[in-house]
Amino acid sequence: MSPLISEKMLRYLYNEMSAEESMVFLKFINSSPAVKEQFNQMKEGFEALNGISMNPSRNTVDRILSYGSIDGFSMQ
């Protein structure tokens, strides 16, 4: 898949296209089964990432804060 097509897929998924661009993009996707399959795979990954909740452990947060204090940066 070309980087340009990948970029357009991401722009569509993140709602960064105008209504006109979206319509042209969807026509393009629907005109090629191979591209549509790649888009569906990217969309599945996009939706899976949106469902992930990132919660670092308290130990991880403490280690990051203590590392920052080594250089004299106050993180609190």
User: Distance between CA atoms of 41 and 51, rounded to whole angstroms?
Assistant: 16
At 73, the pLDDT band (50, 70, 90 cuts) reads low
The domain spans of the chain are 3-70
User: Distance between CA atoms of 21 and 8, rounded to whole angstroms?
Assistant: 10
Position 33 scores a pLDDT of 94
- Amino acid at site 7: E
* pLDDT tens by residue, 39-71: 999 999 999 987 787 788 899 888 888 887 766
Section 6-27 average pLDDT: 95
Section 4-32 average pLDDT: 94
The average confidence (pLDDT) of the chain is 87
User: Distance between CA atoms of 35 and 14, rounded to whole angstroms?
Assistant: 18
H or E stretch covering 69: helix 58-70
